[in-house]
Structures are given as structure tokens and as C-alpha cells.
Chains A and B, each alone.
Chain A
Amino acid sequence: MTSKAIKIALTCVVLAAALGGLMYTTLSEGTEYYIHVDEVMQNPSAWQGKKLQLHGFVADLRQRPNSLDYKFDVQFNGKIIPATYTGVVPDTFKNASEVVLKGQLHDGAFAVEPNGVMAKCPSKYNPQSAAGS
């Protein structure tokens, strides 16, 4: 009985260690920093090249004619980061709309990865945003 208990305990420990280790390594690859524009701008060089989910509001949105290339500013609390994106944008993506952008910061400009634009979507439990107008 005791030897059995030891066996079980040992199996559990090994499994837990293996899973934990695996989790830790994959987690460090898979994580993205969820951050607001003003937080980044406090120390932009620290965030250079890291995977970010940048939260802010769209401003000065421009689209190159006959293309899917967008240039715009993301702002939050008075701080601004210029950003670029190529691809299809959600309907709610326009000036002054609240967005979360996935991508990386390179030389002061934020490059949004493909399909990396998430406009805050209306929720059925949140009257403020669902009301729209």
C-alpha cells in the first residue's frame, strides 16, 4: 500500500513537473502584453519588438486609395503612437473608435500584424456600447 502510494505520488510529481515545464515554456512564447498607449510611451524603448496588444483610440485614419493599406494614430490619455496595417478591418474600425491592436513596436511606429485589429465589439450585456449612437 505504501509503496503504491509512493508510486502514485511519484507519477503525479513527474507529470506535474512535465506539464508545468511545458506550460511555462509555451506560455512565454504565447503571451502578449496587454497595454495602453500611454503606458508604452512612458518608456517606448522597453517595449521595442515585444508582442503587444495595444489598447487605444483610432485617430487620423487614412487609407491609401485602391488598397487595403491603412495608416492611423492610436491615442490614449493624450499619448499617440503612429500605426500601420494592411488587410481587412472590422466595421467598427474608424476614427475615435476604441481598438485593441496586436503587433509590435518598431522604431516608434506600431506595425499591426495581419488580422490584428480587434475593435471593441458591442456586447449584449453592455448597454453603453450596444446603444451605439
Chain B
Amino acid sequence: MPALGTFTLLATFVVASYALAASIAGGRRRSRALIESGVGAFYMTAALMAVASGIIIHAFVTDNYAIKYVQRYSDVAQPLAYKITSYWGGLDGSIMFWVLLLSVFGTIAVASNRERHRELIPWVVAIMAATEMFFIFIMVVHNNPFDTFVASAPAEGKGLNPLLQNFYMAIHPPSLYTGFVAMTIPYAFGMAALITGHLDDAWLRAVRRWTMIGWLFLTFGLTLGMLWAYEELGWGGFWGWDPVENAGLLPWFTATAFLHSVMVQERRGMLRVWNVTLVITTFFLTIFGTFMTRSGVVQSVHAFGEDRWLAGLFSGFMILLLTFSFAYVIYRLPLLKSRHELDSWFSREAAFLANNWILLFSAFFILFATMFPTLSEAVRGQRLTVGPPFFNQWMRPIGLVLLVLTGIAPLLAWKKSTLSNLVQQFTWPVAALIVTGAAVFALGIRVWSSGICFALCAFVGATILQEFIRGASVRKGASGSDYFTALVGLVARQQRRYGGYIVHLGIVLMFLGFAGQGYKQEKDMQLNPGEQNSVAGFTVRHDSIAVTSDDQKQMITGHVTVFRNGKQLAQMAPARWFFAKHESQPTTEVAIRRAPGEDVYIVLAAYDIGTQNATYAVTVNPLVDWIWLGFGILAIGTGIALLPERAFAFAGARVPEGVVTTSLLLLMLLLPGVARAQTVIQKDALRQQLEGDLMCTCGGCLAPMNNCPMAGACHGLKEQREKVNRMIDQGMTREQIKAAFVREHGGVDVLSAPPDEGFNRLAWALPYVAGATGAALVGLVAYRWTRRPAMPDAPAAAGAEVPVEDALAARLDDELRDLD
């Protein structure tokens, strides 16, 4: 099998190089046959990579430890899901996964643009094939995931790092990779446009959608990374400005900039050089981010293996990439002339330009600060580092300015805003800003950045609300429908614009969460059983420490009860898990009680089983859940903006297409939840699990049923066993039986492990639920709306006849201009 895998990789390399050669030759000679064969060869690479991936996954599932990579990242006891995700758990596999994604995305992009952008296709294929070749080359000569042990193969695997055996970690890297890889496609189209000189706006249309998809996945990946850090690492925060995190953030900034500036080019024919540059920079940063995290060039807590060879290869590729790309930009400068000039600084394009500058500055600032230790070492010979405070000091004001622009830019008119225009647009939002600011001050929140952030969130929220209300009333007046229908029609008709507003709303919610970090409180508490201590109005009482185990790990669980104002709020159970073969690195299982106002976040920091003394690190984290909720909203907004435009052109006829896309997108978001539910357990296994789940109630032994030191002599245990068996025979599930015991016993301390799954996941499911509800609502209204047989075709037709107020008339003009 491994030989077949290596062979497949080599074959992919050969086929990719053929695709490259055939496409270049075909593009230059305008030979249809050659181009077609190049495209075919490119499709072939996707098929081959699928085969190679199948082989490695098969090796993981069948525990084939003859393969080094499998041996290093898997072991027999690992659950099946983690065996599969081990595929991208290490360097070699993650590169292979990268190539797989690129070939699949490339295939989709080529297939869907073949007819529309015929002249670009050979060059698009060539660029993507060349990128594939680079990564396959790395694998074949240096990091082959199919490498086998020369002598005898070990009998067991080392197992995936326990920290990575986490639900979010299983889906966070692929999401981030998907985002990274999707950015290759805009680059390929951009370069193809530069090479062929077809620099009209056609290539932008092909590219915009892919950038949006990539951007969505990047955001999703970054959010998951935050969630993972928050739930798994146990330091109470979610973003530490670690180089690995920053690497994902860099292209996010430039991609965000591009998504905005592309509008300026479409609308006003400006910023053409700028857009090409952004596409190139984004792609470059994805490669650079990969390089930074894999080559050990930055000293990081994550400390990647120093690997000069890999560093050299990557540097070479990056230099080549930059030279080649920018040489073409310079060569094509005459074709990239702007059609217009900036008319006024009070225009939307100016605001977008400012937003672009700031986003780009953010990207380079983070790049600079991340590389600073390396730079200072190179220049001064002394390694200087900059910590999170430095990043925060800069990124806080930058973030706030970006937030202001989020509110202002969409309200400005293209070309030039008049004064009356400004007054009309900004009265309410500014009022909201002032009221909230005063309220925040009155409430006594004295963290300046958080206070300003809250006020600005109100400002931006008000602008978005105002846009929706005004747009809907104009449409209502024009179409004569009811308010709600008008609102949906509005979103459907200009999904990019209103989808964008919804994305902004998501961003606002995320900022709320960031602002909450300004006044989080933490306290370390060392407690004997029965003792308690308080932080930020929450009282934590330490009850007991329990030791339990299952076939993969030993678990030490602290049981605590949390009170607020003397009322019991929750029983929580932070734990330490010692995975077999990784005993020296216990994982921290944080107990989190989620609430919209603030999370109570408890870590079992130290313990003494003998004296039952425990140390808890307790953090009260305000508003942090709004970040996850914000992402849910953002995803919905992006989904709306991504819907095929024609799906809504004639709402009646084409709604099903949009519905399909929406449901697919939502399904994608819901998948994790479904995957989680698929567990089939047999009775015997169930019995064993329950014996680990339930504490022995014989009294005093503080051990689970399967570990009771008094077993044999303990008759309470025997009765308890019989009871469990009866319940299993009655067909009760694990959760039901546990619940029954909790009911009977009168408290969760009969459980050995925290009952955290249900409650915690519920909170996390909130965005999904909100999303699904939203989608259902949209579907319902769309259905209702489509039943209206003959709808006058939009404000365009009716606008002139319907009497509307002056203010609204101006707005209508604006709307009309926005119609594509």
C-alpha cells in the first residue's frame, strides 16, 4: 500500500507537469486540443490525489504502522474519527491535504468557468498546476507521508497529540486550509488575466465568489481556532497573537480588503492595480503563513521543527512567485489605468480606500510584529520579542477605526456625498452612538477601549438597521406589498449588498465579545473540600476530587458548585485527563458555564487526591459567547451574498436554486452536530461505559463503579450493578441511565465526569439554531412571496409612479444605481 501511495504522488507530479506544459503551449499556440488535454490532465490530478488520500486514510483506519506517518499520529485506541483526522494532523499529511483541496477546488473552478472565460483557462490551469507541483515536490523528496520504516515496523502507534484530540481541532485545520487554498484560485485567475492582457472586469467576476468562499472558510477556521484555544488550552482567553494564529489572520485582512475594493473597481473602474496587487498579496500571504508555521523561522511557543531544507524551498518559491507576479503587474500597467479619479473624500470609494489602507496596514503590522524576533536577531544579533500587549496596543485602535468605517462607508454615496445627504444618513446612528456611550459611562464601565467599542457597536448596528428599514419602506411603497415581504424582497434582490450588511452585523457582535475581554476577571483559588471563594460576584465552592478512567485515559475531576447572590447556579466539573502514552502531558478539561452576559470558566489547576485539596483558576469572561454567535450571523450573511445572482432575478421561478444553496451551506454548518450524534453502542460496551460514568454509591470510596477499592466486599456496588443492568435491558440509553441516577441520587456528583456535553454544546449550538431558524424564516417568506402571481418587477419599474418622500426618493436613486 505505501508503495502505491508514493507511486500515486509521483504520478500526480508527472500529470501536473503535463498539465502545466500542455496549458502553456496550448495557450500560446491557441491550440484548442492542447488546452483541452491540459484541462483534462488537471482534472486527473484531482482524481489521483483522491486516490492517494484514500490510501492514507485506509492506512490510518487499518492501523498500518509500517508507515511512519501513521505510526506517529495514530494508535489503536484512538476513536475512528480522530484516526481519519490524523490525516492532516502532521506536516506531511497536511501538505498532501492541501494539494487534494487545491486540485478539487481547481477542478470545480475550471469546470464552472470554462465557457465563460475561455481565454483565461489555459493560464489558470498552468498556475494551479505549478502550485500543485511545488507542494507535491516537497512531499516526494522531503516529507513523503507514505515513508515506511526501513527495518521492522513498531507494533503500536504513538497516538495523536491529546491536545489535538478535540472536536474543534478535527475541523479547524481543514477549514483554515480550505480558506487558504481557495485563495489560490483568485490568484490563478488574476495572473491569467495579467498574462493574457484580458484585464477588463471579467476576471473579477470569476474571482469574487471564490474569494468570498475562501474568506468564509478562513473566518470559520479562525473562529474555530479561538474556540479551541478557549475550551481546550485553559488560559481563559482565545487569542494570544501566536505566530500560528497570526499566519491565518494575515491573508484574512488582505482578502477582506479585496472584497471591498473589488466593488470600487466594478462600480467606478478604479483601483485596478490595487486589486491585482491584493489578490497576489493574499496568495503570497497564504504561502508565507504556511512557511512561517512549518519552517520554524519564527520562534514560537508552538516551536516548529527547525528545517532549513524546507525553509529554503519555500523561500525560493516565494521569491519566484513575487518576482513573476509583480513583473507582470508592471508589464501590464498601461492596461490597468483607472477609468476615473477620486471625486471627493466624502464618497464611498474614498471610505473603501481608507478601509483598504487600514486592513493592509494591519496585515503588514502583524507580519512585522510576528517576524520581529527574527528580524531583530538578524539585524542586531539579539532576539527581541514583542508580546500580546504590543499587538493589543496597536490592534485595538485599528480595530475601532475599522469598526467606524464599517458603519460610515455603506452610508456614503458613490462619487460624492452632499451635506444634507450626510445629515440625513447619520442623525440616528450618531444619536445611538451618544446614548450608548452615555449609558456605558453611567454604568461605570471605565475601560476606555471597551466603552468606545460598545458605543461604536451601537452606531454601526444603527446604520445597518436604518439601511434595512429605509430600504424596506422604499420597496414597500414601490411594490405595495407588506413590510416583511418587502424586507425579504430587498435582501433577495440585492443579496450582495444586504448579505454584506448581515456580515457587518456579525462583525459587530464579534466586536462586542472582544470588548468584553476588557474587563474580564480572574482569580486563583486554593480550596479544601467545603471551602469557597468569590470572584466578580460568583462564589465557587469546592466539593470533592474524583479519579476515574476509561480505556483511553485517566481522569481527575474536581467537583465544584457555583453560586451567585447565594443562589446555586451550577455544578461544574473541571478535569485533568491523562491520555495513555501521553501521561506527561495531561490535558486540561475546562468547565465552562455559558451565558450571554458572561461565562464562568473554571480550570482545575492543581490538586492533591490525598487531602482532596484543589486549586482552581476561575475566570469570569464577559460577553465572550457573542463572538461565536457573531460568526454564525456572519456565515449566514456570506451565504446570502454568495447565492447565485440569477437565483433571485425572477424570484418566483428560481427560488428553489437559492434554497438548495442555502440548505447546503447550512447543512455544512450543521454537519458537526450530526456527526456527533452517530454513535451506536452495544450493551456490553454500554455497561462498561456506565461503570466508568457512575460513582460507586457504597459511600466513602470516591471512585467510579469499575474502580471501587472495596469491590467484592461492597454490597452496595452489587445492587447498583444490577440496577444498571436492568436499565440497560429496558433499552435505556447511557444518558437516560445517568439521568436516572442523578435524579435518584439528587445531584450530579454521582457522575464521575462532568455532564458538560449537553449544556455546553447547547450554547455552542446557538448560532446554528439561530441560523437554521433564520433560514427557515427566509424560506417561509420566500415561499409566501413567490405565490404572489404577478409582482411588478422591482422598484425600477414602479419607482417613478409611486409618490415617495424626498428623502426616500434619493434613496431610491441610490438603490437603482446599485442594481447590476
Contact = CB atoms under 8 A, between A and B. Distances in A.
Asked whether A and B interact, the reply is yes
B394 interface: yes
Among A33, A118, A120, A126, max chain B CB count under 10 A is at A126
A100 B524 contact: no
Interface stretch (B42-50, B302-310, B319-327, B459-467): B302-310
A120 B90 contact: no
Interface in A11-47: 19, 26-27, 29-35
Interface stretch (A75-83, A84-92, A103-111): A84-92
Contacts of A92: 584-585
Interface string B271-307: 0000000000000000000000110000101111100
A32 B386 contact: yes
Contacts of B387: 30, 32, 102
B576 A31 contact: no
A91 B588 contact: yes
Contact of A123 (B94, B304, B613): B304
Given A131-B158, A132-B581, A31 B384 contact: yes
A37 B528 CA distance: 38
B356 to A, nearest CB: 14
A34 B384 contact: yes
B161 A31 contact: no
Interface in B18-35: none
B646 interface: no
Among A34, A35, A92, A128, max chain B CB count under 10 A is at A34
B161 A128 contact: no
A67 to B, nearest CB: 7
Contacts of A87: 524
A122 B161 contact: yes
B605 interface: yes
A87 to B, nearest CB: 6
Contacts of A102: 387
A91 B615 CA distance: 13
- Counting contact residues on chain A (CB < 8 A from B), the size range is 35 or more
Contacts of A127: 72, 90, 305
The interface residues of chain B, by DSSP majority, are classed as mixed
B385 A124 contact: no
Given A91-B588, A125-B294, A132-B581, A67 B526 contact: yes
A3 interface: no
B613 A129 contact: no
B242 to A, nearest CB: 10
Nearest to A67: B526
Contacts of A130: 72, 158, 161
Contacts of A120: 301, 303
B586 A123 contact: no
A125 B90 contact: yes
Contacts of B383: 33-35
A81 to B, nearest CB: 17
B585 A88 contact: no
A32 B582 CA distance: 33
Given A115-B235, A122-B163, A124-B161, A133 B302 contact: no
Contacts of A121: 163, 301-303
B389 interface: yes
A30 B386 contact: yes
Contacts of A10: none
Given A29-B390, A102-B387, A126-B305, 6 more contacts: A19-B361, A30-B387, A30-B390, A32-B386, A87-B524, A125-B90
Interface of B: 72, 89-91, 94, 158, 161, 163-164, 235, 293-294, 299, 301-305, 361, 372-373, 382-387, 389-390, 393-394, 524, 526, 576, 581-588, 603, 605-606, 613, 615, 617
